[in-house]
Chain A
Amino acid sequence: GAGVSQSPRYKVAKRGQDVALRCDPISGHVSLFWYQQALGQGPEFLTYFQNEAQLDKSGLPSDRFFAERPEGSVSTLKIQRTQQEDSAVYLCASSHGQGRNQPQHFGDGTRLSIL
């Protein structure tokens, strides 16, 4: 495809609602990452998938955050019972392999605003 695709681009939700954010990585990319970017900050790692396996979820801030990639392609990040501090841009990135020098390709992100 043309690149990593994320949807929706913008999401507004009321505090307490559940949200789901979608990421469609570049076809054939094994590795998929989710990052959270708060205003004025750099992206911060949330979780990592190698194919369908979630190998690292050390960055998820609470058990309200859940991610899946059931068929090793599209991934969904779900946030339950949203709080105002969840407001941020959520970035998805994919890379072809798992090596440390593999470049990560980013999507446009989903800007989440919790009212």
Chain B
Amino acid sequence: AQRVTQPEKLLSVFKGAPVELKCNYSYSGSPELFWYVQYSRQRLQLLLRHISRESIKGFTADLNKGETSFHLKKPFAQEEDSAMYYCALSSIYGGATNKLIFGTGTLLAVQP
């Protein structure tokens, strides 16, 4: 079965502390993984994708196929990072589709 698991509904950290948002996936094939973010009163937007191996707003994510994980990390949290974060898997099963399978999301709250 194809599935994305985000075990934490809420992650609260202090400004300047490191952040790690966990994401595990289940997929029988080569995974394509994304992190999407939704800031307050804004639409869902792409943060980063594993194929780009990029750092956006100080966030990075490394695909670990052995642990089937794609955790999102940032060394020093900022208050403006407070948002809802969704991990997503692109699936080709079920048709000629690259539909996204989302986790349930983690709300990151960065305290001053």
Which residues in A have some Cβ–Cβ distance to B below 8 Å? 3, 31, 33, 35, 40-45, 48, 50, 55-56, 58-59, 91, 93, 95, 98-109
| Given A91-B44, A101-B51, also A45-B100 (CB < 8 A) | yes
B43 touches A103 (CB 8 A): no
17 example contacts (A-B, Cβ-Cβ < 8 A) are as follows: A31-B98, A41-B104, A41-B105, A42-B88, A42-B103, A43-B44, A44-B102, A45-B97, A48-B97, A56-B95, A59-B99, A98-B98, A100-B32, A101-B32, A106-B43, A106-B44, A106-B45
Which residues in B have some Cβ–Cβ distance to A below 8 Å? 4, 32, 34, 36, 43-46, 49, 51, 86, 88, 90, 92, 94-105
Query: What are the 9 closest A-B residue pairs judged by CB atoms, nearest first?
Result: A42-B102, A56-B95, A106-B44, A45-B99, A56-B97, A100-B32, A100-B90, A100-B98, A103-B46
- Give CA–CA (A114, B41) in the complex, Å: 22
Residues of chain A lying within 8 A (CB to CB) of residue B101: 45
- Give CA–CA (A35, B90) in the complex, Å: 14
Residues of chain B lying within 8 A (CB to CB) of residue A42: 4, 86, 88, 102-105
Residues of chain A lying within 8 A (CB to CB) of residue B96: 50, 55-56, 98
Q: Smallest distance from the beta carbon of A26 to chain B beta carbons, Å?
A: 13
Closest to B100 in A: A104
